[in-house]
Amino acid sequence: MEEKEISQAVISRLPRYFRYLGELKDGGTERVSSQELSDIMKVTASQIRQDFNNFGGFGQQGYGYNVEFLYYEIGKILGLNKTHNLIIIGAGNLGQALANYVNFERRGFLFKGIFDSNPALYGNKIRDIEVQPMENMEIFVKDNDIDMAVLTIPKGEATKVAELLVEYGIKGIWNFAHVDLSVPEDVQVENVHLSDSLMKLSYNINRFEMDNKGQQDI
């Protein structure tokens, strides 16, 4: 049977479902309806039901959704029922901030190593993880079962480093470098362009101000 293709729009909502359901679970809520989730998430109840139907539905007529069950099922869909070993390439401010964010570990993302091309940083420790030279990366990846890498380096270096990571067997790259990477289809890349997000915020502010000005001029 051919596996159903899930849209990226649905996939992008899964972490939000997981986060909100986690908050409900921690607050002692045992069950929730699609309408109650809709009120919390600002997504229509119909959209929520359609999203969940992509994975089997999870709910019961007249009951809604069991919060704990749905939380763990979405966690499995997101691959959070297993751990992922990560390395960071780039020990600058962003790389250090990501390494220090302990909530990643609660989700099963374990930072194992940090690498940089600047000799002045070698030996520095970030949460007991020592910054190493790039030359150590290949052996480290293989010896520590690393499956994900985080790129927080200038875009001029990112493409070459990504090629090396693919060669070393990395299966996922979280890319903060300001360049879209081209990798084989069996390697997954999530590009995070911080300036794009900031420009989107600027657009929304500008649109809101223009809409309000238009209403005032009527």
Read off the CATH number of the domain in which 180 is found.
Answer: 3.40.50.720
- Structure-block tokens of residue 206: 């500008």
One domain, residues 188 and 99:
yes
- In the structure, what pLDDT confidence band is assigned to residue 214 with cuts at 50, 70 and 90? low
- Residue 37 has a pLDDT of 92
pLDDT digits (tens, 9 = 90+) for 52-109: 988 887 876 667 899 999 999 999 999 999 999 999 999 999 999 999 998 898 889 9
Would you say residue 168 has pLDDT above 60? yes
Could you tell me what percent of the chain has a pLDDT over 70?
A: 94
Would you say residue 184 has pLDDT above 80? yes
Would you say residue 2 has pLDDT above 60? no
- Structure-block tokens of residue 141: 């990846």
One domain, residues 71 and 122:
no
One domain, residues 91 and 163:
yes
Kindly list the distances between the CA atom of residue 214 and the CA atoms of 2, 93, 200, 207, in Å, as whole numbers in the listed order: 51, 42, 21, 10
- Residue from 132, 143, 141 nearest 168 by CA: 141
- Residue 121 has a pLDDT of 95
Q: Distance (Å, rounded) from C-alpha 101 to C-alpha 107?
A: 11
Could you tell me if residue 208 is inside a domain? no
Would you say residue 217 has pLDDT above 70? no
Could you tell me if residue 57 is inside a domain? yes
One domain, residues 101 and 56:
no
pTM: 0.82
Between 196 and 133, the more confident residue is 133
What's the structural domain count of the chain?
A: 2
Residues 6+ apart with CB under 8 A from 69: 58
- In the structure, what pLDDT confidence band is assigned to residue 213 with cuts at 50, 70 and 90? confident
- Residue 163 has a pLDDT of 96
Phi, psi values for residue 175, rounded to 5°: -105, 110
- In the structure, what pLDDT confidence band is assigned to residue 1 with cuts at 50, 70 and 90? very low
Could you tell me if residue 132 is inside a domain? yes
Average pLDDT over residues 121-135: 95
Could you tell me what percent of the chain has a pLDDT over 90?
A: 71
One domain, residues 92 and 188:
yes
One domain, residues 72 and 155:
no
- Please give the DSSP secondary-structure letter assigned to residue 217: H
- In the structure, what pLDDT confidence band is assigned to residue 218 with cuts at 50, 70 and 90? low
CB atoms within 10 A of CB 145: 11
- The conformational region for residue 109 under phi > 0 = left, psi -120 to 50 = alpha, else beta, is beta
Among 41, 59, 77, give the residue marking a domain's end.
77
- Residue 142 has a pLDDT of 95
One domain, residues 41 and 104:
no
- Residue from 123, 103, 107 nearest 115 by CA: 123
- Residue 58 has a pLDDT of 83
| CATH number of the CATH domain containing 55 | 1.10.10.10
Among 77, 102, 132, give the residue marking a domain's end.
77
Rounded to the nearest integer, the mean pLDDT of the chain is 91
pLDDT digits (tens, 9 = 90+) for 37-49: 999 999 999 999 9
Task: Please give the residue range of the domain that contains residue 146.
Answer: 84-195
Residues 6+ apart with CB under 8 A from 73: 55, 58
Could you tell me if residue 135 is inside a domain? yes
